């Protein structure tokens, strides 16, 4: 299978939405529980600056912004579950994005604004599974989604794959995400994404394709 990057296209403001996955302090802020795990990759791609630029451009283009959040942890979340994954057990034990904690609050630069849509929290990796995301997108007549946020090879990839299966046009932004390793970033964008995503672009390439540039 070819790994050639799909070509970007123009994005209609009336049919395109930004999906911002997990903009929590625990991921994006100094002192966050997962920030040390993503910091090297995040800093190498200029993550925060790229996120800010994309969010600003999307708002100028009057595209809807959807916040796609992971479940905020509470003690005993997976007690009695038949099949929690090792990742779920680990995040539960560490109380990542804990409900009521600073780490479970939005990074101040990326908190929802009036008019943004906050999706029901997802328990696994996909922002669609057992949430209202698909219904909310359909109510807005969205056909194209742009994914940014954390992290490339889990929640971003899982949400993007699910979106494709539901019939959405999917754009991934290779420097508006991060991962726990450079190898994971490479796998997400250069090995996995060409098999399902419609476009895998840089922030600069995306901004050039958005209305109102």
Q: What is the pLDDT of residue 89?
A: 80
Q: What is the pLDDT of residue 153?
A: 97
Residue 6 lies in a domain: no
Q: Which residue has the higher pLDDT, 79 or 115?
A: 115
Q: What pLDDT digit, counting tens, does each position of 49-58 carry?
A: 999 999 999 9
First to last CA, the chain: 34
Residue 2 lies in a domain: no
The residues, any chain, with a CB within 8 Å of residue 168's CB and separated by 6 or more, are: 137, 142, 143, 144, 145
What is the pLDDT of the chain when averaged over all its residues? 93
Pairing relationship of beta strands 169-177 and 65-68 according to DSSP bridges: unpaired
Parent domain of 173: 16-209
The residues, any chain, with a CB within 8 Å of residue 65's CB and separated by 6 or more, are: 17, 18, 20, 55, 58, 59, 112, 113, 115, 116, 117
Residue 167 lies in a domain: yes
Q: Residue 195 sits in a domain of what CATH number? A: 3.40.50.850
If you average pLDDT over residues 187-191, what whole number do you get?
Answer: 98
- Using an 8 Å Cβ cutoff, are 69 and 119 in contact? yes
CA atoms of 213 and 203, how far apart (whole Å): 13
Q: What pLDDT digit, counting tens, does each position of 18-37 carry?
A: 999 999 999 999 999 999 99
Residue 8 lies in a domain: no
Q: Is residue 9's pLDDT more than 90?
A: no
Q: How many domains does the chain have?
A: 1
Q: What pLDDT digit, counting tens, does each position of 61-113 carry?
A: 999 999 999 999 888 888 888 988 887 887 878 899 999 999 999 999 999 99
CA atoms of 97 and 83, how far apart (whole Å): 21
Q: Is residue 137's pLDDT more than 50?
A: yes
């Amino acid at each position: 299978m070819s790994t050639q990057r799909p070509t970007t296209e123009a994005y209609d403001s009336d049919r395109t939405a930004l999906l911002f996955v997990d903009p929590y302090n625990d991921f994006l802020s100094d002192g966050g529980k997962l920030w040390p795990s993503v910091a090297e990759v995040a800093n190498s791609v200029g993550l925060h600056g790229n996120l800010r630029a994309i969010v600003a451009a999307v708002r100028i283009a009057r595209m809807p912004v959807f916040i796609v959040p992971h479940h905020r942890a509470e003690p005993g979340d997976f007690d009695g579950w038949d099949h929690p994954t090792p990742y779920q057990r680990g995040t539960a034990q560490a109380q990542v994005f804990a409900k009521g904690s600073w780490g479970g609050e939005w990074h101040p630069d990326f908190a929802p604004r009036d008019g943004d849509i906050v999706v029901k929290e997802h328990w696994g990796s996909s922002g669609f599974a057992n949430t209202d995301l698909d219904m909310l997108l359909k109510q807005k007549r969205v056909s194209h989604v742009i994914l940014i946020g954390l992290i490339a090879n889990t929640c971003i990839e899982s949400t993007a794959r699910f979106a494709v299966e539901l019939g959405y046009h999917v754009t991934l932004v290779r420097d508006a995400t991060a991962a726990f390793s450079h190898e994971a970033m490479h796998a997400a964008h250069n090995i996995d994404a060409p098999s399902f995503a419609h476009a895998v672009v840089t922030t600069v390439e995306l901004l050039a394709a958005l209305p109102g540039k």
